Structure 1
Amino acid sequence: MADNQQPQFALQRIYIKDASFEAPNSPQAFTKEWKPEVKLDLNSGARKLDDNHYEVFVKVTVTATNADETAFLVELVQAGLFTMANIPEAQMKPMLGAMCPNILFPYLRESIDSMVVKGGFPALMLAPINFDALYQQKLAQEAQQTAAAETSEETTH
């Protein structure tokens, strides 16, 4: 890599890779007082497509229960195609693990809200997610697992 090559980062496309909405107890769900319990499962990931292209995704599953019945279940995988070139390896992982998911999340949030409203339920605006903090937690967990594995290897030799 020549010193004069500038780092390049560009978002090529944002797209929904997978989407599902279920309202198994409708229309009865609409006749009950609306006091839902909402459970959110979230993860993200990335994969290298070629030297300069990466697909990054954020997957969310939202389950709303009301009066001990599932009111709705939404699953969505929001993805983006990113171009990255001449970026130091030390910066790539935080970009793929935190920066890109931060870019995708508002689109995921809007899509989830739209699906819930079109399903006949009140709007569901997901709270912002701090992907930087989640990425740091993931790094800490990986470091602990590596340290534990090294410790167990030392005791078995």
Structure 2
Amino acid sequence: MAEETPVFQIQRVYLKDLSLEQPNSPAILLEQEQPSVDIQLGVEATPVVEGIFEVAVTATVQTKIKDKTVFLVEAKQAGIFEIRNVPEDQMGAIIGIACPQIIYPYLRGNVADTVTRAGFPPVHLAEINFQAMYEQQQAAAAEAATSTAQ
């Protein structure tokens, strides 16, 4: 039997979740001090059915002046991917690197647009090296497995 051709296709990219909070408005808007910005990113993958995966990239952007939140944006951009006939040892890299690289530009645009529509200068999320991020996660998981086994 001939080996089946690998399949990697985007079925859909969509904004799964988005929230904006300005808990200290309008008073905080009168502050002249520059806010601090904290950005957290995450990647998650979920099998949907055989050969179909949902991969989501999440971003949490929080700006503060002193200890008061100026705004908080939480966004989850997701994609549905068909991935079939790919060697098992390559699946992690496809789901952890290739899929997030496709989704991330949409997330960046949605976060910048949301912040701008809220009346603030846009927050432009930096480019992310998902390969380095994936390799760090793999190394951390291997280290955790080694320390647990001892």
What is the TM-score when the length of structure 2 is the normalising length? Answer: 0.94
- Alpha-carbon separation, structure 2, partners of 1:13 and 1:140: 31
The aligned length equals: 150
Residue 129 (structure 1) shift: 1.2
Counterpart of 1:114 in 2: which secondary structure? helix
Q: Which has the larger radius of gyration?
A: 1
Counterpart of 2:9 in 1: which secondary structure? strand
Find the counterpart in structure 2 of residue 22 from structure 1: 21
> What is the CA RMSD across the aligned residues, in angstroms?
1.3
- Alpha-carbon separation, structure 2, partners of 1:82 and 1:131: 17
- Alpha-carbon separation, structure 2, partners of 1:3 and 1:22: 55
Structure 1 residues 85 and 38, CA gap change in structure 2 (3 angstroms): same
Tell me the amino acid that sits aligned with residue 58 of structure 1. V
| Residue 63 (structure 2) pairs with residue 64 (structure 1) | yes
Find the counterpart in structure 1 of residue 31 from structure 2: 32
Cα offsets for 1:6-42 (capped at 9, x unmatched)? 1110111011111100011222232222512111111
Tell me the amino acid that sits aligned with residue 107 of structure 2. L
Counterpart of 1:3 in 2: which secondary structure? coil
Find the counterpart in structure 1 of residue 101 from structure 2: 102
Stretch deviating more after TM superposition (53-62 or 3-12): 3-12
Unaligned runs of 5+ in 1: 152-157
Residue 55 (structure 1) shift: 0.3
Tell me the amino acid that sits aligned with residue 88 of structure 2. E
Q: Percent identity?
A: 39
Counterpart of 2:41 in 1: which secondary structure? strand
What is the TM-score when the length of structure 1 is the normalising length? Answer: 0.90
Tell me the amino acid that sits aligned with residue 83 of structure 1. E
Find the counterpart in structure 2 of residue 115 from structure 1: 114
Unaligned runs of 5+ in 2: none
Counterpart of 2:58 in 1: which secondary structure? strand
